[in-house]
Structure 1
Amino acid sequence: MNAVLRTVNRTLVGLIGLLLAALGGSVLAIGLGVRPPSWWIHDGRHDVLLSDAERTRWRDAGWWWPTVLAALALLVLLALWWLVAVLRRRRLAEVLVDTGDGEGALLRGRALEDVLAADTAGQEGVAHTRLMLTGRRTAPRARVWLRLEPDVDPGTVLHDLTAQALTHARESAGLAKLPAEVRLREVKHKAERVT
């Protein structure tokens, strides 16, 4: 889901940026005296975006203003949804480590993720690992995606993950607990055709 949202976000930002750059560049070029093509929305440097006739053309139609207002409201709601989705942090930025002095210290979430991923990738039977810390900085949670080699016992991999990597990370960060959601997939190898 995060990858899809990230892809949609980058695509939308790129398209909107290209559209705004093209429109802004054309307005600037026409304002500097470049002659626009005949099909363009502006005729010259003293032209306005909407003439009086265009602005008052649909004034008497009863459906026009409710449609315009509904479309603008929908556009604002979509923009707000997009902004909330972009600003909401899914990944934990820092973890509060208990140092025993009552104050604690902050550990970067990415550093703990990297250590956990390295420990997990070193396990027997794990082909690929991806990891993300979520939750609050006082109560982090791990989300782990493991791709397993064929013919590996998933129970053994899960046991090794909890007994080694997660326990090591929990103890080194001074956490009382480190709950984890683990998703397993098996690597599919294509059989070679022997002729």
Structure 2
Amino acid sequence: MSPVLRTVNRILLGLVGLVLLAAGAGLLAAAPPLGGRHAPLLAAQTRREHWQAGGWWWAVAAGLALCVLLALWWLLAQLRRPRLPAVVVDTGDGEFAVLRGRALEEAVAAEAGALAGVARCRVALRGRRGAPSLRLALELEPYAVPADALAALAGPVLGHVRTSTGLAGLPAEARLRVPRHRASRVT
């Protein structure tokens, strides 16, 4: 999930919580003069008078429509695929080829996973078809030197990707993780 979407989710949950809290507090504060548990908040006559006298019905309808549109936008943002399905590759003869994103991810993961000191590698292709970017998550062995693994990744691995795709620049973000391990005992 992207950081922007994560932030929107937190803000949306906070606002919904505040609205529900304010509505509950307002109802609790207005409860004694309402006439008991079984009495309606507004009598039918009062509702009719307010609805007919005021021209505020359009504001309620617009507010509800806005809430529905925002809820649909939020739902679609949750379902959106963050990975890039394909990359456009210039073949050099004036034509273009389409390279599947999963194939490129698997090739980069296999080459990066074969580096010395790398236990496992996960790759995600992001961005647009003409301007992709890579996000790599490397799990290093306990004995690995992170600077060496990063240099090997930035040099040969990403160099092969740029050469094979014909891209002059391929932004990449690498996250290195070393798993916890127990100290070995010497006897």
| Smaller-chain TM-score bracket | 0.5 to 0.7
Q: Per-residue displacement from partner, 1:51-79 (whole Å, max 9, x unpaired)?
A: xxxx99965677xx788975674354223
Structure 2 equivalent of residue 103 of structure 1: 95
Name stretches of at least 5 consecutive residues in structure 1 with no aligned partner. 6-54
Q: Distance in 1 between matches of 2:48 and 2:142?
A: 69
Structure 1 equivalent of residue 39 of structure 2: none
Name stretches of at least 5 consecutive residues in structure 2 with no aligned partner. 6-43, 52-56
Aligned positions of 1:59-98 closer than 5 A? 73-87=66-80, 89-98=81-90
Normalising by structure 1, we get a TM-score of: 0.60
Check 1:70–1:190 CA distance in 2 against 1; reply closer, same or farther (3 A cut).
Answer: farther
Q: Distance in 2 between matches of 1:141 and 1:164?
A: 17
Structure 1 equivalent of residue 156 of structure 2: 164
Is the contact between residue 134 and residue 141 of structure 1 (CA under 8 Å) also seen in structure 2? yes
Q: Per-residue displacement from partner, 1:109-140 (whole Å, max 9, x unpaired)?
A: 11111100010111111122111111122221
Partner AA of 1:181 in structure 2: E
Aligned positions of 1:1-195 closer than 5 A? 1=1, 73-87=66-80, 89-191=81-183
Identity of aligned residues (%): 46
Q: How many residues align?
A: 145
Between 135-144 and 77-86, the greater mean CA deviation after superposition:
77-86
Check 1:74–1:152 CA distance in 2 against 1; reply closer, same or farther (3 A cut).
Answer: same
Q: Per-residue displacement from partner, 1:156-182 (whole Å, max 9, x unpaired)?
A: 001111222211111112221222111
Q: Distance in 2 between matches of 1:110 and 1:57?
A: 62
Q: Distance in 2 between matches of 1:74 and 1:192?
A: 59
Whichever structure has more helix as a proportion of its residues is 2
